[in-house]
Amino acid sequence: MKKGKRHFFTTFLFSTMILSISAQKTPLIADGAEITLVASDYKFTEGPAVDKEGNVFFTDQPNDRIIKWSVVDGSVSVFMEPSGRANGLYFDRQGNLVACADEKFQLWRIDPKKNVTVLVDGFEGKNLNGPNDLWIDLKGGTYFTDPFYKRDYWERTEKDIQNERVYYLTPDMDKIKIVANDFERPNGIVGSPDGKILYVSDIGAKKTYSYSISEDGYLTNKQLFADMGSDGMTLDNQGNVYLTGNGVTVFNSMGEQIQHIPIDQKWTANVTFGGKDQKTLFITAMNSLYTLQMNVHGVTHLN
């Protein structure tokens, strides 16, 4: 075979192989899966978080309660009421539920017996704007967003802290650091399972950014990830990032949109993976909780 033909043939085989691999790539959503309404007895659902067993906890924020979806039988029940008007939730490695207690501008740790420890109660002598969403890293440190959403149940009407930031509570729970300060309104937040990348949504600017996480918890190398804000977000085992708002929009690790999951609601607030194998996508949207069976699965520090 002549060199030119050999080169063409080799290129053809390589291209065909790449196309074949691409065509065989497993779809994100399980074959035949449809959006399932789990429950719709709420005012506004938020903050889904999964524990080690696969149970999913979420908030009915205006009604001041945390709801539990059971991995055993798929039932939903009230876990805690009142709940500090909890918004975002996340489990630590000790099995405690860490909550953004919006009513008190605090960060709470709720143990399995529902005992509450206040982890964060202000910054430099001032009330926080209102912790909204959080992510716990491999060391046990907590990143949380602090936007200002004026609530009718607050006595105050103005900010104590003008900047809407991302903070980091150190693993020893001893220090709070400002790690990002240049947002219009930060909201959704999630980190990669290796603890190297943090994704933060600036919902006010309709952007989502990625950061490199330094050894000391500080953030560097801010990069635009997607021209879309997000109320809440999660990751799957392929590194795809799930953003919310208009349904659920999925981006690969390069920031390219690869999927849109429509939800028949005006607003999708948050999303996480749960269930025994973490292959069920849980979606909080307005007054409801939905699920969708997936081929991919979630990744947390609990895995």
Mind listing the pLDDT tens digit of every residue in the chain (303 residues)? 444 444 433 333 333 333 333 333 679 999 999 999 999 999 999 999 999 999 999 999 999 999 999 999 999 999 999 999 999 999 999 999 999 999 999 999 999 999 999 999 999 999 999 999 999 999 999 999 999 999 989 988 899 999 999 999 999 999 999 999 999 999 999 999 999 999 999 999 999 999 999 999 999 999 999 999 999 999 999 999 999 999 999 999 999 999 999 999 999 999 999 999 999 999 999 999 999 999 999 998 775
Let me know if residue 219 belongs to a domain: yes
Residue 63 burial by CB count (10 A; 0-12/13-18/19+): exposed, middle or buried? Answer: middle
Residues in the chain: 303
CATH number of the structural domain spanning residue 50:
2.120.10.30
Let me know if residue 137 belongs to a domain: yes
- What 8-state DSSP symbol labels residue 14? H
Angstrom distances, CA of residue 163 to CA of 106, 109, 181, 200, 277: 17, 25, 7, 16, 40
- Both tokens of 42, joined, read 């709420």
Let me know if residue 258 belongs to a domain: no
> Which pLDDT value is given to residue 25?
67
Let me know if residue 264 belongs to a domain: no
Task: Tell me: cis bond preceding 193? Omega within 30 of 0 counts.
Answer: no
Let me know if residue 255 belongs to a domain: no
- Both tokens of 3, joined, read 């060199």
Let me know if residue 35 belongs to a domain: no
> Which pLDDT value is given to residue 61?
95
For the CA atoms of 140, 218, 167, 99, the dihedral, rounded to the nearest 10 degrees, stands at -20
Phi-psi region of 206 (alpha: psi -120 to 50; beta: other; left: phi over 0): left
Let me know if residue 267 belongs to a domain: no
For the CA atoms of 143, 280, 267, 186, the dihedral, rounded to the nearest 10 degrees, stands at 10
Residue 153's domain comprises 43-236
Let me know if residue 5 belongs to a domain: no
- What 8-state DSSP symbol labels residue 184? S
Number of domains in the chain: 1
